[in-house]
Structure 1
Amino acid sequence: MDPGPIDGALRDLSPQVLGILVRRGADFAAAEDAVQEALVEAVRRWPAELPTEPKGWLVTVAWRRFLDARRSDVARQRRELAQVDEPPPGPTEDRDDTLLLLFMCCHPTLTPASAVALTLRAVGGLTTRQIAEAYLVPEATMAQRISRAKRSISGVEVGTPGDLSTVLKVLYLIFNEGYTGEVDLAAEAIRLTRQLAGSSEEPEVAGLLALMLLHHARRAARFAADGTLVPLAEQDRSRWDEHAIAEGVVVLQAALARDRLGEYQAQAAIAALHADARSTAETDWPQVLEWYDELARLTDSPVVALNRAVAVGEVDGPLAGLRAVEQVPSDVPRRTAVRAYLHERAGDRSTAHDLYVTAADQATSAAERDHLTRQAARLHDRP
């Protein structure tokens, strides 16, 4: 059998099996070790003998490995395992414990970095090496981070209601990392959020999924062939993924229909307005500004205030936009770049040039720095 489908099945089943072991009372770290052993055994045996019930097979093998390890800890050998009644796969095993596992991995006691790493490892099924490469840290460092996270949640009671807002923040953090190394974290975040949306009626979950789909739809147009950043206003919109946009809009409309507006829904609504326009000039900026006003009422985020200032500049003119920027704290990322853009629109090219230079020095990525440097050079070269 082609190893591709096997690998995909193992990745999908892994968090479900881990959740079952945890629900049965296994410690998280010990349960994951047992599941990993079962997965190794599956890779060895399944090409020759694919089980009729792969999930039940993995649960049985993983539970045996867990029991074996537990009895070894108290100097009992594998012979005693045969005397232990195996809970056979039954109706209780048909439930998907991925959601339970996701909430555990995003427990509020964990730091965002630890929650992200543990989620990708336990729920996403990525290897420690893949996660380390995605976040540009040594594998040993990531292994320690994951181990500490496991220990932190070892005492968490199974079934304790989780913090949905924390889960959504972790998923959005993963999405915003984009693509690095061999792991497409944006696609992985969409996959996990889609799973969560299938198990939750909370409109903010759907709002986050819609937001991810709408942003991800622009991915192909976001960078030029030479790797340089292409801002939204200059993107070739024919390269946007129309299917992702259509799905995002449908998901968003269903969420808004529940009449419980949240910040992810508001952000998705703004993204949908950008996706609907054939150019920046044809964007419905008054409606974009209205949604930013809604978003500002939902959150006091200075990043939202900065983005709202851009919309103000499009609706009421660049000078009004600059006045709005003055209300944004000076240490907010991209504030200087926004000021440069608005000064250029107001006709003050000299000030805009100097601000683009400063913004380039403040950039947190090479792509952003290069883009801002080019903007400064463009103004310098033209009279």
Structure 2
Amino acid sequence: MKADRTTDVHDVEDLLRLHAPQVLGALVRRYGHFDPAEDAVQEALIVAAGQWPEDGVPENPRGWLIRVASRRLIDRLRSDEARRRREETVAALTPADAFVAPPPGEGPAGLGRAPSEDDTLTLLFLCCHPALSPAAQIALTLRAVGGLTTAEIARAHLVEEATMAQRISRAKRAVRGTEFRPPEPQDRDRRLAAVLQVLYLIFNEGYTATAGPALHRPDLAREAIRLTRAVRRLLPHEGRVTGLLALMVLTEARAPARTGCDGELIPLDAQDRAVWDRTAIAEGTALAEEALAQGPAGDYQLQAAIAALHDEAARAEDTDWPQILALYELLVHRTPDPAAALGRAVAVAMVHGPRAGLAAVDALAEPSAGRYRLDAVRAHLLERAGDHEAARAAYRAAADGTLSDPEARYLRARADRLSP
């Protein structure tokens, strides 16, 4: 049975993104060939993207994709098998009957149990395998679970497509042969922490790009939120997951007010809060409260609570800085993250004055990366303390240290404003 023949292209794209990781997970679980399985899924997605907008979406879109992808994979495995027979004159490695594609009426490609979103989570665990570097984990997650093309991932990271293709290929080789199953209970927490960290890094890169002409990359931010929602559907009572989703939703709610008409950066205290997404703020606040009720307050829950306090303030001067400082104290006690320590220094300045904040900044260890953020905070506090000459120098040092064009323009403008 078909849906309306004129299906919206964007609806089809959303549907394909939803089902792609489940289809890939089902094929990898059944056949154990990650790389060719991913190629087969991509081919099935291309076919669907061409057919569904005109012919309508099948009644069981996931089953349709699995059937098409599995047949493409079977054809490839058969071809590889034949080549090996010719070249090596050895027996086939896989029984022939394993490559028989079922007819359309026999369920989703005869892959044993029906695929589910559990496969999405297992695929995330695989993409965030501890053998991979964080950069490789992010690239493989966006490719295999997010469904982004190699070109899209390369553009998001401002590298050549060939470079990103090599990174993804190396990541696939590193996890080749890994059994497709959830981690053991004793390893689950550590692996889940890696998954959430990757999603957090993807969101941060989308919300504040580390380099390039744009401050905000909404495609990456939206993708991180979408994937985190998928994880939460599977783990609805996991406080870390709920907290991370709350943090993302509350932070992204401020995105419409972060840049001006020419793309210039607008700091938090100068943003037009009427432009903030109030629906998202209501959802994020509810999620933050739920996350805190789901167990001991972890890093994501505390950061979400801080974001909620910022979002709930009708004006910058209404922000509950003493409460934010108390939350940062808990956060810094839990994590060595330099960003948390820097956030605490800003909160100290807002509660106890800029000189106290400067003392807190000076007490921080010099970061190995992201030094410009420390310089930017120091410049802001020096300006508030009235030391304009030192603030100007710190603003310029921060501008020289960032690779983000909008951040550099903003910091240089602040420095120029303080020129005699």
> Which TM-score bucket, shorter chain as reference?
over 0.9
CA offset digits 1:199-229 (Å, max 9, x no partner): 1121111111111111101101101111111
The worse-fitting range, judged by mean Cα deviation, of 142-151 and 58-67 is 58-67
Counterpart for residue 269 of structure 2: 233
Superposition deviation, residue 357 in structure 1: 2.4
Structure 2 CA distance for aligned equivalents of residues 280 and 182 of structure 1:
25
| Residue identity opposite 1:63 in structure 2 | S
The worse-fitting range, judged by mean Cα deviation, of 59-68 and 106-115 is 59-68
How many aligned residue pairs are there?
379
Q: CA RMSD in A?
A: 2.3
Matched, 1:208 2:244: yes
SS at match of 2:177: coil
Structure 2 CA distance for aligned equivalents of residues 83 and 196 of structure 1:
32
| Residue identity opposite 2:123 in structure 1 | L
Superposition deviation, residue 334 in structure 1: 1.5
Matched, 1:95 2:116: yes
Residue from 48, 55, 59 that aligns with 1:48:
55
CA spacing shift, 1:25–1:233, aligned 2, 3 Å: same
Structure 2 CA distance for aligned equivalents of residues 259 and 160 of structure 1:
23
CA offset digits 1:310-361 (Å, max 9, x no partner): 1111111111111111111234442122222222222222222222222222
Superposition deviation, residue 294 in structure 1: 0.6
Matched, 1:177 2:205: yes
- The 5-angstrom pairing of residues 4-15 of structure 1 reads 4-15=10-21
Superposition deviation, residue 271 in structure 1: 0.8
Counterpart for residue 191 of structure 1: 226
Counterpart for residue 260 of structure 2: 224
Counterpart for residue 300 of structure 1: 336
Matched, 1:327 2:363: yes
| Residue identity opposite 1:67 in structure 2 | I
Superposition deviation, residue 371 in structure 1: 1.2
Unmatched 5+ stretches in structure 1: none
| Residue identity opposite 2:221 in structure 1 | A
Counterpart for residue 135 of structure 2: 113
CA spacing shift, 1:65–1:224, aligned 2, 3 Å: same
Structure 1 CA distance for aligned equivalents of residues 151 and 47 of structure 2:
21
Counterpart for residue 279 of structure 2: 243
CA spacing shift, 1:317–1:4, aligned 2, 3 Å: closer
Structure 2 CA distance for aligned equivalents of residues 92 and 24 of structure 1:
10
Quick one: percent identity of the two aligned structures? 53
CA spacing shift, 1:252–1:185, aligned 2, 3 Å: same
2:349–2:355 CA contact under 8 A, matched in 1 = yes
1:64–1:81 CA contact under 8 A, matched in 2 = no
Unmatched 5+ stretches in structure 2: 1-5, 86-95, 208-213
CA spacing shift, 1:323–1:49, aligned 2, 3 Å: closer
| Residue identity opposite 1:184 in structure 2 | D
SS at match of 1:168: helix
